[in-house]
């Protein structure tokens, strides 16, 4: 994109909402502060088992749905903020269980993807979407570079810096590391139902991706997506290209359908399944390397 890195125009269809934010004073609250998070608000990253013994390291870019208080819910209703547009429903629970089952480090992001999508380059328009699926996000309309910079500096950067530091430390210690990027997807998107319960995503079809596809397809009654429901691209994804491909680390991205993991029992069941299959995959990887 030439010129400004960000779209300058305010789409006409959302301008009335933007105007109403100005009228209620919310707009000022969003542009004036020099900080985004107040001291009593949670940090942008949660690390589980930083000293975990496993070769696996998990990340969950969309684990949380908090909105910084100053952003006044971005003008989005409570009910919309419970939906998949705000976060990856269920994936925090699955990732927490996986961390415990495998004694693996896990890095989870705390704030809603509507504030800043930590799996997008911050200059990409969908990083702070003005519309998500069919829902307007008034608090993302007409953001200044300063507004964007606060979200990048206080959420995106510390989250990814923490992941980077953990990976650097493991590399310095000569530790073998396999990164698993955890996500979940909505069963129905823009009216289209998705039949697969789980997807394995990759930019290059690595041995790990092939093994995980084989193992999941051998499970009873599962429909498995291969680069479905999404494909990884350098333009739309940030985490796998940055912490996986660019570092030359073995990695894979996982997508689990949200109705499977909306409740605690499903989260545990899917974590147990992935713990079992990842252990198997790891021993096959080691056997093929020997």
Backbone torsions φ then ψ of 199, nearest 5 degrees: -135, 145
Binding-residue total with Zn ion (CB under 5 A): 3
- Minimum CB distance to Zn ion smaller for 118 or for 130: 118
Stretch that binds Zn ion, among 45-53, 54-62, 262-270, 271-279 (CB under 5 A): 54-62
Distance (Å, whole) CA 116 – CA 120: 8
The residues, any chain, with a CB within 8 Å of residue 268's CB and separated by 6 or more, are 93, 97
> Hey, which residues between 59 and 118 contact Zn ion (CB under 5 A)?
62, 88
Distance (Å, whole) CA 147 – CA 36: 9
* Least gap, CB of 38 to Zn ion (angstroms): 26
- Minimum CB distance to Zn ion smaller for 182 or for 278: 182
Q: Which of 72, 151, 160, 183 binds Zn ion (CB under 5 A)?
A: 183
* Least gap, CB of 183 to Zn ion (angstroms): 3
- Minimum CB distance to Zn ion smaller for 71 or for 85: 85
The tokens of 153 are what? 């500096």
- DSSP H/E element including 101: helix 91-102
- Minimum CB distance to Zn ion smaller for 97 or for 183: 183
Burial of 93 (0-12, 13-18, 19+ CB in 10 A): buried
Q: Please give the residue whose beta carbon sits closest to Zn ion in the complex.
A: 183
Binding residues for Zn ion (CB under 5 A)? 62, 88, 183
């Amino acid at each position: 994109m030439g010129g400004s890195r960000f779209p300058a125009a305010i789409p006409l269809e959302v301008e009335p909402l933007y105007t109403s934010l100005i009228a209620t004073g919310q707009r000022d609250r969003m542009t004036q502060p020099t900080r985004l998070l107040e001291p009593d608000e949670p940090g942008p990253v949660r690390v589980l088992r930083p000293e975990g013994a496993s070769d696996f390291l998990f990340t969950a870019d969309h684990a949380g749905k908090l909105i910084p208080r100053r952003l006044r819910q971005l003008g989005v209703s409570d009910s919309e903020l419970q939906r998949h547009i705000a976060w990856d429903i269920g994936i925090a629970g699955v990732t927490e269980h996986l961390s415990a089952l495998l004694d693996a480090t896990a890095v989870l992001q705390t704030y809603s993807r509507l504030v800043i999508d930590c799996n997008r380059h911050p200059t990409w328009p969908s990083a702070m979407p003005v519309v998500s699926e069919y829902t307007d996000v008034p608090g993302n309309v007409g953001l200044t570079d300063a507004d964007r910079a606060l979200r990048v500096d206080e959420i995106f950067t510390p989250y990814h810096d923490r992941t980077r530091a953990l990976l650097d430390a493991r590399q310095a210690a000569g530790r073998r590391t396999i990164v698993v990027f955890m996500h979940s997807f909505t069963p129905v998107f823009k009216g289209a139902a998705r039949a697969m319960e789980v997807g394995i995503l990759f930019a290059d079809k690595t041995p790990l991706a092939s093994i995980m596809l084989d193992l999941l397809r051998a499970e009873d009654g599962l429909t498995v997506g291969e680069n479905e429901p999404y494909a990884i691209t350098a333009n739309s994804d940030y985490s796998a290209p940055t912490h996986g491909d660019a570092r030359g680390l073995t990695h894979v991205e996982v997508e689990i359908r949200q109705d499977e993991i909306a409740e605690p029992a499903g989260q545990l069941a899917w974590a147990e399944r992935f713990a079992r299959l990842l252990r198997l995959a790891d021993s096959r990887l080691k056997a093929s390397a020997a």
